[in-house]
Structure 1
């Protein structure tokens, strides 16, 4: 899938991995719709990129909000050729902690944003992509979802987060098989530790401890490196139905 001249939705596009992806798409001649709830940073990024981006205030887990954002994208760009789902939250909590069972709303909110939100935007965008004229490879669109290495090696306190990300991994192949009839590929990226707002507040000692778990390179990933993987997936027409770990060979410990 060519980036230049095509339009993409990026959820969570106002910061972190999503913002790096938006900038990378714009730099390659693409256009991006930034779906996020961070109005100030989202609007600022769209203004920075001019005609290459728009900002859509979007609750990815809400049907009406996502429908409105997709409609705004179509109105601005005429079509959608890809969706990159980066929106996500992490609410650490033990299933049974010092104060008793985890509040159920912490679990359900994580599932709603990370898993249901990914599914919601994907289904709406895929319906529009199926209407596109196929390119020379027969492609009409590409879906790129964001899971996590926690889908495989969740730590203590990550039951909700790991479940939400494992769900994203689990729906990758069924979606790829279904969307094959429409010429739409589905690929998931499972990042390890990246320089994102989720990790910005960590104490230095905690960061050093985590970095020691990274064989090579022994540092947090950079958002631009995530965006580079997005570019590679878009460019390779035979990459489909797979989850790719992007983690410096890291395998998370129990704690």
Structure 2
């Protein structure tokens, strides 16, 4: 892990370079990978030569994405609120592709609601807890389990072993 922020770059040039990168031989695990930003990210990475493991709760969309992206894609049914599920999904990715170079946490939900309900009462905690489990714990589990796996890799010339992106 490490930061490439230590090198000066003109605004926007890093993104342009990332869009055209050759990622052959690299593997990325993407939570929320069966749709939306997760699937778009997977499509880009596969087009650059990478292998991707898509973790998602939606098996139907996940299997469809796996079929679309071909042999460099693995779909793993995943509940990001369950640490054991995240660990097993990352293990499945490593078993299939033999390495893990990055984790991209795209799984998340949101809701627009007022601070109080229509009766002017505070909302109950049930939905807030659910959102936190997915958005906060899910991101933490993906990051920590992925980091533990990437820590096994040899460091590159800059001392990095992989990367994590939280969306």
Q: Deviations over 1:191-211 (max 9, x none)?
A: xxxxxxxxxxxxxxxxxxxxx
Alpha-carbon shift at residue 71 of structure 1 (Å): 1.0
Q: Does 1:86 align with 2:106?
A: yes
Alpha-carbon shift at residue 101 of structure 1 (Å): 1.5
Q: Does 1:59 align with 2:76?
A: no
Q: Show structure 1 runs of 4+ deviating over 3 A.
A: none
Aligned CA RMSD, in angstroms, stands at 1.3
Unaligned runs of 5+ in 2: 1-20
Partner of 1:69: 89
Q: Deviations over 1:17-51 (max 9, x none)?
A: 00000000000000100010111111111111111
Partner of 1:35: 55
Count the aligned residue pairs. 146
C-alpha distance in structure 1 between counterparts of 2:75 and 2:112, whole Å: 29
Q: Tell me the TM-score normalized by structure 1.
A: 0.55
C-alpha distance in structure 2 between counterparts of 1:47 and 1:26, whole Å: 13
C-alpha distance in structure 2 between counterparts of 1:110 and 1:131, whole Å: 32
C-alpha distance in structure 1 between counterparts of 2:166 and 2:132, whole Å: 15
Whether the aligned pair in 2 keeps the contact of 1:81 and 1:129 (CA below 8 Å) is yes
C-alpha distance in structure 1 between counterparts of 2:139 and 2:95, whole Å: 22
Q: Tell me the TM-score normalized by structure 2.
A: 0.83
Whether the aligned pair in 2 keeps the contact of 1:91 and 1:106 (CA below 8 Å) is no
Q: Give the alignment partner of residue 129 of structure 2, picking from 96, 99, 108.
A: 108
Partner of 2:67: 47
Whether the aligned pair in 1 keeps the contact of 2:22 and 2:49 (CA below 8 Å) is no
C-alpha distance in structure 2 between counterparts of 1:65 and 1:128, whole Å: 15
Q: Does 1:132 align with 2:156?
A: no
Q: Does 1:14 align with 2:34?
A: yes
Whether the aligned pair in 1 keeps the contact of 2:151 and 2:161 (CA below 8 Å) is yes
Q: Give the alignment partner of residue 25 of structure 1, picking from 41, 45, 56.
A: 45
User: SS at 1:56's partner residue?
Assistant: strand
Q: Which has the higher contact order (CA 8 A, sep 6+)?
A: 2
C-alpha distance in structure 1 between counterparts of 2:124 and 2:111, whole Å: 11
Unaligned runs of 5+ in 1: 147-255
C-alpha distance in structure 2 between counterparts of 1:51 and 1:90, whole Å: 32
Partner of 2:139: 118
